[in-house]
Structure 1
Amino acid sequence: MKNKKIQILGISAYYHDSAACILNDGKILAAVQEERFTRVKNDASFPRNAIQYCLSTANCEINDIDFIVFYDKPIPTFDRLLLSYLSIAPAGLPSWLRAMPLWLKQKLHLPQIIRKELGYEGEILFSEHHEAHAAAAFYPSPFQEAAILTIDGVGEWATTSYGIGKAEKIDLLNELHFPDSLGLLYSAFTYFTGFRVNSGEYKLMGLAPYGKPIYEDVILDNIVDVKPDGSLRLNMEYFDFLGGLRMTSHKFESLFEGPRREPETKISQREMDIAASIQAVTESVMLKMGFHIFNETGMEKLCLAGGVALNCTAVGRLLREGPFKEIWVQPAAGDAGSALGAALLVWHRLLEKKRNAQDENRPFSPYLGPSYAQDEIKAFLEQKNVPHHLMDAGNRAKIIAEQLAAGKIVGYMAGRMEYGPRALGARSIIADPRGENTKDRINLKIKFRESFRPFAPAVMQEKAYEVFELDRTSPYMTLITHVRDQRNMYPAVTHVDNSSRVQTVATGNKKDFHDVIKAFHEMTGCPIVVNTSFNVRGEPIVCTPDDAYACFMKTGMDTLVMEDTILFKEEQPPLKEKTSEAGASETEIRSIRKSSLTFAASCMVPVAIGLFSHRMLLSLIFGLLACAGLAVAISPVFLKPVYQAAQFAANRIRLALSVLVLTVVFYTIISPVGLFLRLLGKTPIHLRPDAQAKSYWLNHQPADKENLYKRF
């Protein structure tokens, strides 16, 4: 027991991008998003599958874990939610009715849920949301000391935080509070231009170069007040996210001369100009923040995390025009990465373990997800009885390069899956970037997505500086730079503004992928391949051989590589659609039997009461109901429609009662209290900018190790 290693499990869940991460004596063994297993994009549910993968990788059981840490504190978040409704009531009922059941059922009971889901008996901890982001940004970075900036939609109260990281210590200094959020501002424009919030922001960024920032002053004069230090405040007259079911208000629509674009409808020049305008505002704000943080901290290096850190156009400009010599962005910058950050916070802050910065020649590896051995892939393909070929290890890279040189689109699955939203050569679709129609072919025939969307280049690290205006490595595809004068040579990876989101590939971080690009370079003189995520629009990146094969067969890909196995589309039989009826039926049958037996047993109580009190009618009625319950348990398949109808009716009754109770609470408690506070001039949340304020930055309350034990 003296030499027992400390196991820490980090969890993020219930907002978006649920994930889990496991540390073994501070070493990151595994980290993965739940969506990769459930195949539900941005899955917010409890990450059962991700946790199971982490435990399996660590070769341990759940009660071998010393600490489980959740990436967010639920009580302050609930407090923020209540104060938001107090600030706008009696408006906000629809949002209240949507939010409260989830909070009352799940989010306020996280320790109980975690114990119930996992059967865990040990310590459950809670980090602050932006502390977890900061830890994910700084601890895996190559810097021994650096400034830290985290920007997202919202954590508990904080929407932006900055501070300093030194060795194993992180101190956040100042923050902005909800609803004043650069992330929510960008998401509001994502919504208004017809894209999905929390997943369409990168589309808005990709659309921006097609427009002109003609609305930049309109945004700054009306919607958001930005101070010289980068702090900001939103004018909530233009937003509806406090208590509505939309991001923007009717006043927002009037400002931009019309309603939001409906999803999937034609994108007009207006949307392009709006995208360019909010992108310009975002870049300007981040630059101002950068200079302010540099002046406050004196640090020449910066670590970034939070969803806004994935805006690589803004990060690229901050690097080019800002005060920092180096910037490191956590590749899993969103909430998924906070599972890692929370776990690292326990290791370094609570347990006071020393930290050594990552060696610059051996950077943080994002390849932390599942991998599949050649034997597993072979067994899968033989079970499916589909044609496939084994490549000799010595010729593997050359064979794949020949496919690319012949204009083939290749699905590439090799090694451990990436952690975070970027495909970095483990689950990628790759192609020759020189083809004039490559971009449109992949967008329309394979990814089934908007034609304006650009693709990223994966380039041999030793050749990157010859092709791109890049003076540093970019292994995580987190920087946007410009193509040098060979723009016309690589149309598939050169955006309309001559920019590219570059991944530099070295032998030290992804040798198999580097070998493929190198072989392609030797064959064609081109040191680049197109690299886009191995998925279609609306689906997560593929995880398993089954996922990869299904995606390959349903799209216009020509070739599939899984480790040392290669498949050619022309040899494949038609795909047999997988049916889940049997599995679903088994699950349903178990559920039906359990519910029916419970129902029958509960009916026996009034039967017994009726018999003892000589009320035979009562006994008869409930006796028949008990028999019906037993009949359903014995023959669940035949009586499944009856069970489903009863379940539907019961759910509707519960929903109606829930809505009734919550409506009464909203109008008899929340609304009167909110109105009274506003009459006293004590609105809990600032709803409009303050022209007299010099800054909106607020002091961050210092967090010590004891804070990790608290839910508030």
Structure 2
Amino acid sequence: MRILGISALYHDSAAAMVENGQVIAAAQEERFTRRKHDSDFPVNSIAYCLEAAGCGLKAVDQVVFYDKPFLKFERLLETYLSFSPKGFKSFQMAIPVWLREKLFQKDLIRDELQAISKNFEWKSRLLFAEHHLSHAASAFFPSPFEEAAVLTMDGVGEWTTTSFAMGKGSELHIAKEIHFPHSLGLLYSAVTYYLGFKVNSGEYKVMGLAPYGEPKYAHTFFDKIIDVRDDGSFWLDQQYFDYCTGLTMVNDHFAKLFGHPVRKPESEDLTQFHMDMAASIQAVTEEVVLKLARNAAKETGAKNLCLAGGVALNCVANGKILREGIFESIWIQPAAGDAGGALGAALAGYYLFGENERTVDPTKQDAMRGSYIGPEFEQDDIERRLTAAGAKFEVLSDSRLYESTAAALADGSAVGWMQGRMEFGPRALGGRSILGDPRSPNMQKLLNLKVKYRESFRPFAPSVLAEDASHWFDLDSESPYMLIVAPVREEHRRAMTEEEEQLFGIDKLNVPRSTIPAVTHVDYSARVQTVHKETNPRYHTLLSAFKQRTGCGMLVNTSFNVRGEPIVCTPEDAFRCFMGTEIEVLVVGNCFLRKEDQDPSLQQDYKDIFELD
């Protein structure tokens, strides 16, 4: 039985294919169109999923959309009526779009599917799952657990912003929900906006900025803005926000409460106030998430927890849940945001609508295959594509490839690494990555300013051999999807001098904190990816080769793109990024490229091609 899941028409459109309960393929539309967070109907992602399944659309038994448009329209109308006449301008802008495009989404989806396959029988095959049910299904059904509590937290689906469910076998039941406008995701996004970052993409920056500040304003949030109960349920005072009916996230009341106006993006320096605000909203988020997790454990008695929704990408909060010992194990859907809703919709179609039995294989980590479920390219195709792009390369044997790449990394080079199937989700996991030496005190600055073209304060993550993780980090569990932050072990830390201890804010950035300074954040933490031979043998072998050369089985790993660009998908994407940045070495399949060997006329000013995120 083949089921195609689709998320589309809001942001982060994607498609996923499930066959007899097995995850076959999934990809986000942005990777094909090269438009970050592309919301268009995912025709390219669907084409890829059908190709990966070796079938046409006619051979698909069900197509499941990840939410219910009529419920969203209901929420839109009820919200505007509740706040009327406030927000009439926003209402004027939104309603025509809904009436023209979104209210009749079933017709739009039907037309798009019939454009792919003219005679596709959509009436009996097109289904709709609620947004948070899709999130919950994406979290529980691929997990390695027979039974688990499930938390989903994001901005908003139809009405739901937070849900608590219980999964057992092939069953999944949502027990409690928190509804719009009370949303932890929207609160975090509101502060993201207030700090001058883009909503739905800048939340990572707030999380990265938080350790530079102190949570001085957390009490203000709790006193004035958010009322949190012991079970984690919460209520937001809407007088401070504009997202219900307006065109911005926060209003003048919010700015007056904290004593500063909204920061203008790209035009103002980040001050200590901005860092303290980031620290404060992070502390608030962690407290709410921990209370929700404790309540889920109390009400279910479950030993395992699954997480999905955009808030589940907050890897600092995830690490806190793990270290609190609330559950024995936690598992986070690597595509926790809306793109992962496509996969959840397909799995809901198979297990919940189709009532099929679920079998958990205890010998495997999970059913996500390491999240390497995107497109891949055969060696001869890679060579043909790179040649057509004008690239100069050597084709090396596997052993020479690993040796040469490890040597380049040890010499301080930034290496573009494209191997095997593309990752599904926002994290590069060694399939489409830029790599560096974590021991280098200059690597973090080099990658941020000369390769990624992004803010200097943003940290980088370590990829570490799974068998070596506990040697470097206070982490006694797997973290294959780079979604858990853990402290660097004490013996690898560097004690700060008295003078360094007096530094504040961004001044802390250039102080080495450990023997692996490129991946150690200012609070001695790291966003860890454990690399497993079973799911990514080539990346594991490269890490082993680097360890043999240096004694360190770890690399800096960041996504293969520049700021504002989707992660590369094809060999041509990788070569363009290579030629537009100061990456010195590119490895695609068994093709090894050095920057000095390339035609200088192919270089371009790459950093200004993409809209800043």
State the one-letter code of the partner of 2:343.
L
Contact 1:144 1:167 (C-alpha < 8 Å) held by counterparts: yes
CA distance in 2, matches of 1:60, 1:106: 30
2:311 pairs, out of 295, 308, 312, with 308
Q: Which has the larger radius of gyration?
A: 1
Q: Which has a greater percent of helix? A: 1
State which drifts further: 488-497 or 112-121: 112-121
* 8 Å Cα contact 2:421/2:431 also seen in 1: yes
Stretch moving more, 375-384 or 546-555: 375-384
Residue of structure 1 aligned with 2:168, choices 140, 154, 166: 166
- Using the alignment, how far apart are the partners of 1:509 and 1:190 within structure 2? 35
How many residue pairs match? The answer is: 574
Asked whether the equivalents of residues 401 and 592 of structure 2 are also in contact (C-alpha less than 8 Å), the reply is no
Counterpart of 2:21? 26
Question: What SS class does the counterpart of residue 523 from structure 1 fall into?
Answer: helix
- Quick check: 1:469–1:482 contact (8 Å CA) kept in 2? yes
- More moved, 540-549 vs 85-94: 85-94
Gaps of 5+ in 1: 1-5, 579-712
The superposition leaves residues 473-492 of structure 1 with CA deviations (integer Å, 9 ceiling, x where unpaired) of 11111100000121321000
What whole-Å deviation, never above 9, does each CA across 1:584-614 have from its counterpart, x for those lacking one? xxxxxxxxxxxxxxxxxxxxxxxxxxxxxxx
For 2:117, the equivalent position in structure 1 comes to none
CA contact (8 A) 2:191 2:281 kept: yes
**Is 1:354 aligned to 2:361, yes or no?**
no
Pairing 1:112-511 to 2, within 5 Å after superposition = 112-119=107-114, 120-122=120-122, 123-264=125-266, 265-363=268-366, 364-365=368-369, 366-484=371-489, 485-487=491-493, 488-511=514-537
The letter of the residue matching 1:11 is I
Equivalent residue for 1:521?
547
User: What is the DSSP-based 3-state SS (H/G/I as helix, E as strand, rest coil) of the residue aligned with 2:302?
Assistant: coil
Give the whole-Å Cα distance in 2 for the aligned partners of 1:108 and 1:442.
Answer: 44
Residue 111 of structure 1, CA deviation: 2.1
Secondary structure of the equivalent of 2:162? strand
Q: Deviations over 1:150-204 (max 9, x none)?
A: 0000111110000110000001100100000000000000100111101111110
TM norm structure 1:
0.79
Question: Which deviations, in whole Å up to 9, do the C-alpha atoms of 1:325-372 show, x marking residues without a partner?
Answer: 111000000010010001101111121111112435443320111111
Farther-moved stretch of structure 1 (414-423 vs 342-351): 342-351
Contact 2:21 2:358 in 1 (8 A): no
Structure-1 separation of matches of 2:601 and 2:247: 40
> How far is the alpha carbon of 1:384 from its aligned partner?
2.8
**2:607 aligns to what?**
none
Determine if contact 1:287/1:322 at 8 Å carries over to the other structure: no
Deviation at 1:93, TM superposition (A): 2.2
Question: How far apart are residue 69 of structure 1 and its match?
Answer: 0.6
Which amino acid in structure 2 is aligned with residue 471 of structure 1?
Answer: D
Query: 1:36 — aligned with what?
Result: 31
Alignment equivalent of 1:83, drawn from 78, 91, 100: 78
- Following superposition, the deviation at residue 319 of structure 1 comes to 1.2
Contact 1:553-1:575 within 8 A present in 2 as well: no
Give matches, 1:573-592, under 5 Å: 573-576=599-602
Runs of 4+ in structure 1 displaced over 6 angstroms? none
Match of 2:91 in 1: 96
Cα distance in structure 1, aligned partners of 2:271 and 2:105: 45
Contact 1:71 1:339 in 2 (8 A): yes
CA RMSD of aligned residues (A): 1.3
**What is residue 572 of structure 2 aligned with on the other side?**
546
1-structure distance, mates of 2:85, 2:565:
38
Normalising by structure 2, we get a TM-score of 0.92
Q: Distance in 1 between matches of 2:363 and 2:338?
A: 25
Equivalents in 2 of 1:318, 1:358: separation in Å? 25
1:98 and 1:68 map into 2 onto residues whose CA distance is: 31
How far has the Cα of 1:100 moved from its partner? 1.9
Q: Which amino acid aligns with 2:317?
A: A
Check whether the contact 1:146–1:299 (CA below 8 A) recurs between aligned residues.
yes
One-letter code of the match for 2:262?
R
List per-residue Cα deviations over 1:491-549 (Å, max 9, x = no partner). 00000000000000111111000100100000001111000000000110000111100
Q: 1:412-453 deviations in whole A, cap 9, x for unaligned?
A: 000000000000000000000111110000000000001000
- 1:362/1:509 contact within 8 Å kept: no
For 2:582 and 2:96, the matched residues in 1 are separated by 43
* d(CA) in 1 for partners of 2:593, 2:139: 39
Q: Deviations over 1:682-711 (max 9, x none)?
A: xxxxxxxxxxxxxxxxxxxxxxxxxxxxxx
Contact 2:434 2:557 in 1 (8 A): yes
Q: Which runs of 5+ in 2 are unaligned?
A: 115-119, 494-513, 605-613
Which whole-Å CA distance do the structure 1 matches of 2:418 and 2:521 have between them? 26
Aligned to 1:107: 102
* Distance in 1 of aligned mates of 2:319 and 2:249: 28
